[in-house]
Amino acid sequence: MTPERIVFSSTLSPEAESYLREQFPSSHELRVRTARGVTDDDLAWATGICVNNIPADKIRAQDNIGWLHVPAVGIDPFLSLRETRPDLHITRHGPFNARAVAEHGLGLLLALRREIPAMVEAKPRRIWARDPIFKRHPPLVAGSQIHVLGFGPVAQTVITLLAAVGAEITVYRRSAEGNHPGVKHFRALHDLATHIGGADALISVLPGHPEIKHRINATVLDSMQPSSVLVNLGRSDVLDHEALVAALTADRLAGAALDVFDQEPLPPESPLWSAPNLIISPHVGGQFRGNLHRGIDIFLGEFEQWLAQRG
Ligand SMILES: NC(=O)c1ccc[n+]([C@@H]2O[C@H](COP(=O)([O-])OP(=O)(O)OC[C@H]3O[C@@H](n4cnc5c(N)ncnc54)[C@H](OP(=O)(O)O)[C@@H]3O)[C@@H](O)[C@H]2O)c1
């Protein structure tokens, strides 16, 4: 069998890199690169590549690459390759970290509701920060109306957790249909502005897609109750950040938490840094203990399947 030449690109701890090197079949060749360390020479050398952040065009141009593994939930940056390189075998980590994202989302929601950021901020100043919670008089999550955008694997895990704490859940997707024991209503996404006024919290778990860019816009935010909060766990371009800053600044929304941004890391000049009642979570929702080993195991499993297909 001709050895395959695989480039694995992701920023790994030394321990995770040792694990990868130990588990990788010795009859094939492996180059390990950092998340941004893939060179043109690597691309010209590889028959397979695990990568998340190089332009799709660069892979399209390399006929030598027969397998692309994307170490992420979705293959969003490489969708165009499905049509332009139909011969390319594309795999992905998939929603292996859905539970971590869901727990992170629940944590952000509870932090907003229980005014945790105000307590953290007050502590170094030795302030007994009762006012924020006394002023807001937050609703319990149990029994509150939570509107979830999206019904993919991550959203469904979010719904399961929210239902477990007693929230009443409305889901928005392309059409107003679906089945889930934790969901009270299914709504069509294009009706969002009509129904969002009934929400105590809006949680977006939508992917990035031109059709739904800025679906959460000034009209939607203006239709929300001033006591409601917003959490974005999916992709950033679903939300119009300028409109969010305006709503938070005018106190038309009680708070928000974002785990995803148009530009990451969020640049220091972004107006989001100074928006009131906004938690900036630096895209860490999917992280959990053991995730790197789990990701490597998925990558190796996909490698084995690709080898079997190649015969
Ligand atoms: N924060 C983090 O660290 C983190 C970690 C993991 C994942 N994520 C992100 O979470 C998002 C959701 O992931 P997922 O795997 O659960 O779901 P997904 O498969 O990415 O998305 C499924 C949902 O998106 C809707 N959708 C897709 N294209 C659409 C379009 N053109 N117009 C309207 N709706 C559309 C689908 O609608 P239908 O229900 O009608 O089919 C479905 O509800 C992804 O963007 C993923 O990258 C973030």
Mean pLDDT of 182-211: 96
Residue 213 Cβ < 6 Å to ligand 1? no
Residue 151 Cβ < 6 Å to ligand 1? yes
Q: Which atom of ligand 1 is nearest to the CA of 211?
A: 31
Q: Which residue has the least CA distance to atom 19 on ligand 1? A: 152
Global confidence as pTM: 0.89
Residue 243 buriedness (CB in 10 A; 0-12 / 13-18 / 19+): middle
Contact 159, 184 (CB under 8 A): no
The pLDDT tens digits of the residues spanning 107-123 come to: 999 999 999 999 999 99
The pLDDT tens digits of the residues spanning 216-265 come to: 999 999 999 999 999 999 999 999 999 999 999 999 999 999 999 999 99
**CA–CA distance from 109 to each of 13, 103, 116, 158 (Å)?**
30, 10, 10, 11
Q: Which atom of ligand 1 is nearest to the CA of 104?
A: 1
**Separation of alpha carbons 259 and 106, rounded Å:** 12
